[in-house]
């Protein structure tokens, strides 16, 4: 598939610089994203629900309730919230949005590469721009979604944390997060996760809140597939 065709179908996904490096190194093949649900009576977070169904394909539903994929959740005011499907499906092509900057002739530079102005031939300092503003034409990393499922954040295993591309926590930084005590990849993931959540939202989406998340497994693909 040519670059033009890839860009025509690719959906954007954001990663911070550390995780972009992990993808480039081949260490990261999995990512987790918070599931947010709007209930009929305004905003209502799925993780606050007392009754839930988390199967990818939901069976044995109450009479008159139907769903095919994703989530169907019993709301706080009675009744079922319409099922929530993942933003990315199996087979979807994604392009990575990362911190970047541009120079002459649409020449793009990426923070994950640790390049300096001098090494790239510029005499002026270029300003890094946030990943969310990266234009599609600057994309250089493409991923294909291989699997999607939903689970609680703290269900992540040590093996899965390795696939998330995180590093272990040094022994001197050993901490206790929720009921997990250790310095392995899982703790490293918990620390990384909380570092990406605004402080005002930690009670809803932080590690200790144990929110529902979409779990995406992916593979990196080239422009000549």
pLDDT in tens, 89-128: 999 999 999 998 886 666 788 999 886 655 666 656 778 8
pLDDT in tens, 141-157: 999 999 988 788 999 99
φ/ψ of residue 158, rounded to 5: -60, -40
Position 222 scores a pLDDT of: 86
Question: What's the rounded Cα separation, in Å, for the pair 38 and 71?
Answer: 12
Position 104 scores a pLDDT of: 63
For residue 4, what is the enclosing H or E element?
helix 3-9
Q: Is the Cβ–Cβ distance between 173 and 183 less than 8 Å?
A: yes
Position 8 scores a pLDDT of: 92
Position 178 scores a pLDDT of: 46
Kindly give the parts of the chain with pLDDT less than 50: 39-83, 171-172, 176, 178-179
Give the chain's domains with CATH numbers.
Answer: 3-36+87-156+211-221 (2.30.130.30)
Total residue length of the chain? 225
């Amino acid at each position: 598939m040519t670059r033009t065709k890839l860009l025509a179908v690719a959906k954007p996904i954001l990663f911070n610089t550390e995780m972009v490096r992990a993808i480039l190194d081949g260490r990261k093949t999995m990512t987790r994203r918070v599931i947010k649900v709007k209930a009929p009576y305004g905003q209502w977070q799925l993780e606050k629900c007392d009754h839930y169904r988390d199967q990818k394909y939901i069976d044995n539903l109450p009479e008159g309730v139907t769903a095919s994929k994703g989530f169907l959740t019993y709301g706080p005011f009675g009744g079922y919230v319409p099922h929530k499907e993942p933003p990315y499906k199996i087979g979807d092509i994604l392009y990575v949005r990362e911190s970047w900057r541009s120079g002459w002739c649409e020449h793009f530079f990426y923070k994950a590469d640790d390049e300096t102005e001098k090494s790239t031939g510029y005499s002026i300092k270029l300003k890094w721009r946030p990943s969310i503003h990266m234009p599609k034409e600057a994309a250089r990393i493409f991923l294909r979604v291989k699997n999607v499922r939903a689970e609680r954040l703290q269900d992540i295993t040590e093996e899965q944390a390795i696939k998330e591309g995180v590093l272990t926590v040094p022994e001197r930084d050993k901490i206790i997060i929720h009921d997990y005590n250790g310095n392995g990849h899982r703790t490293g993931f918990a620390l990384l996760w909380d570092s990406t959540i605004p402080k005002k939202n930690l009670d809803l989406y932080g590690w200790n809140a144990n929110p529902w998340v979409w779990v995406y497994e992916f593979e990196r693909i080239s422009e000549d597939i």
